[in-house]
């Protein structure tokens, strides 16, 4: 007996939001609509002129994501395939939580994950906001990690009791740097 997928239909009135982003000079709009239970239900993405190849590809990708969501595929499984997918346009974005991407699909996967997945699921996928990355980095950026070794100069003694390495640190202003949990040097 063949299994039949159960469809979860969207209500007639939907709550959601539209996010605009510029990637590599190209403007995209992602619309994500939620279900009554506050889970993601459908996705639309607009790019360029209607009827263009790029616009058609985005429509197909968004439709595939929506179809998967309608049939109960977990969002984490759907977005995992788009993370780090590389093609043009790519590079810097004007999205403050996702400043660089490898493609619009990479941005879309990260944006949907940040907006709709709990932190634990996003962390398993390696998807973090800039603030979460800074917080995570603060855990390993300690005083010991911030030490910068002075370059060897060949000087050994200037007659003031300090060795050549200490003299070079003083001359270059290099020494131990303490970094607060907010990332500022102290």
Within-domain flag for 35? yes
pTM value is 0.67
pLDDT in tens, 40-93: 888 888 887 677 777 888 889 999 999 898 888 999 999 998 899 898 899 999
Cα end-to-end span (Å), the chain: 68
**78 sits in which H/E element:** helix 75-80
Let me know whether 116 and 152 are in one domain. no
Q: How many CA atoms lie within 13 A of 126 on its CB side?
A: 6
Whether the per-residue pLDDT at 124 is higher than 50: the answer is yes
Within-domain flag for 136? no
Region 101-125: what's the mean pLDDT? 92
Domain finish residue from 130, 158, 177: 130
Let me know whether 30 and 59 are in one domain. yes
Within-domain flag for 94? yes
Let me know whether 104 and 164 are in one domain. no
Let me know whether 91 and 71 are in one domain. yes
Domain count, the chain: 2
Structure tokens at 80: 């995992």
Nearest to 70 by CA among 6, 18, 17: 6
Angle at 107 between CA 41 and CA 65, to 5 degrees: 30
pLDDT in tens, 32-48: 988 888 888 888 888 87
> Which range marks the domain in which residue 162 is found?
141-186
Cα distances (angstroms) measured from residue 31 to each of 40, 81, 176, 185: 11, 19, 48, 40
Let me know whether 80 and 159 are in one domain. no
Let me know whether 126 and 175 are in one domain. no
Let me know whether 111 and 145 are in one domain. no
Instruction: Give Cβ neighbours of residue 130 (< 8 Å, ≥ 6 apart).
Output: 96, 97, 98, 99
Whether the per-residue pLDDT at 186 is higher than 50: the answer is no
**3-state SS class at 17:** strand
């Amino acid at each position: 007996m063949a299994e039949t997928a159960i469809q979860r239909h969207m209500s007639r009135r939907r709550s959601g939001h539209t996010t605009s982003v510029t990637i590599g000079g190209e403007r995209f709009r992602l619309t994500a609509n939620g279900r009554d239970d506050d889970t993601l239900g459908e996705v639309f993405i607009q790019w360029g002129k209607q009827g263009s190849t790029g616009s058609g590809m985005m429509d197909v990708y968004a439709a595939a994501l929506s179809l998967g969501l309608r049939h109960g595929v977990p969002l984490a499984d759907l977005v995992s395939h788009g993370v780090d997918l590389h093609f043009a346009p790519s590079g810097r974005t004007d999205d403050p939580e996702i400043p660089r991407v490898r493609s619009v699909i990479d941005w879309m996967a990260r944006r949907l994950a940040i907006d709709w997945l709990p932190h634990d699921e996003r962390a398993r996928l390696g998807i973090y906001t800039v603030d979460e990355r800074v917080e995570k980095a603060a855990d390993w950026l300690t005083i010991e990690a911030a030490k910068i070794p002075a370059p060897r100069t060949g000087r050994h003694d200037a007659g003031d009791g300090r060795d050549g390495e200490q003299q070079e640190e003083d001359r270059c202003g290099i020494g131990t740097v303490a970094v607060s949990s907010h990332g500022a040097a102290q």
